[in-house]
Amino acid sequence: MDYEQFFSSIPGQLLCVGIIILFFAAIFFMTRKEKLSAKAITMSAILIALAFVSNNFLPRWRLPNGGSVTLFSMLFLYLIGYTMGLKVGIIGGMAYGVLDLLFSASAYYPLQILLDFPFAFGALGLGALLRDKKFGLQGGYILGAFMRFVMSFLSGYFFFAEYTPEGYSPVMWAIVYNGTYILIEGIITLIVMSLKPVSTAIARMRKSYEKL
């Protein structure tokens, strides 16, 4: 079987999106006892607003090959899950993805919209899986950013292969295009969040939420 041809076809795309939906559904089932309290909704809304301002109104570094590096927009979304748990993190990320979609000029296909917006930003919430581990703040962010990359890679491969520059395969170009800006922002964010004043402030934010 020609796997590349299959996964670039509509059935292949539907299969991938179906697997992702089942994956998120399994997470929601496993975390069904986690409830969205008023305090979780309020704090999530604040972090979503900060991410939206960072992504849309503050200066950003636009890369020559496409994509742009923002001032910590992914960090604010990641902190939803790190502070309030896996389920809240995924829902908060998806909510931001829907909000970002309303202001985006890069929505072309229904499946692409799912991958680039609710799935991509919801995937940042998966970093909460590591939030109680050693170095969970940094490790969780790496996991969340990687999962966002996976969603963006699938979108780039499925829907934008025709824009692949000469000398690249569609797979390699999807990796380079999406990996570059996510990697740069990820490294900068990891450095900043590892600074003692920043990591201490984040820890205090989480403790204050848990005490509410």
Q: How many other C-beta atoms can be found within 10 angstroms of the C-beta atom of residue 210?
A: 9
Q: Which of 100, 101, 102, 81 is nearest to 91 (CA)?
A: 81
| The predicted structure's pLDDT at residue 176 | 94
Q: Which of 11, 3, 128 is nearest to 77 (CA)?
A: 128
Quote the pTM value. 0.89
Per-residue pLDDT 10s for the chain (212 aa) are: 455 677 667 788 888 888 888 988 888 888 877 777 888 889 999 999 999 999 988 888 888 877 889 989 999 999 999 999 999 999 999 999 999 988 876 777 888 889 999 999 999 999 999 999 999 999 999 999 999 999 999 999 988 888 899 889 999 999 999 999 999 999 999 999 999 999 999 999 999 888 77
| Measured distance CA(123)–CA(118) in Å, rounded | 8
Question: What does the pLDDT read at residue 74?
Answer: 94
Query: What pLDDT score does 210 carry?
Result: 85
Domain count, the chain: 1
pLDDT at residue 2 in the model: 58
Given this model, what pLDDT does residue 3 score?
A: 59
Instruction: Identify the H or E element spanning 62.
Output: strand 61-62
Q: Which two tokens stand for residue 144?
A: 């969340």
Name the residue range of residue 17's domain. Answer: 3-211
Which DSSP string do the residues of 155-205 spell out, in sequence order? HHHHHSGGGPPTT--HHHHHHHHHHHHHHHHHHHHHHHHTSHHHHHHHHHH
CATH number at residue 115: 1.10.1760.20
Angle in degrees, CA 114, 146, 76, rounded to 5:
80
Residue 75: per-residue pLDDT? 95
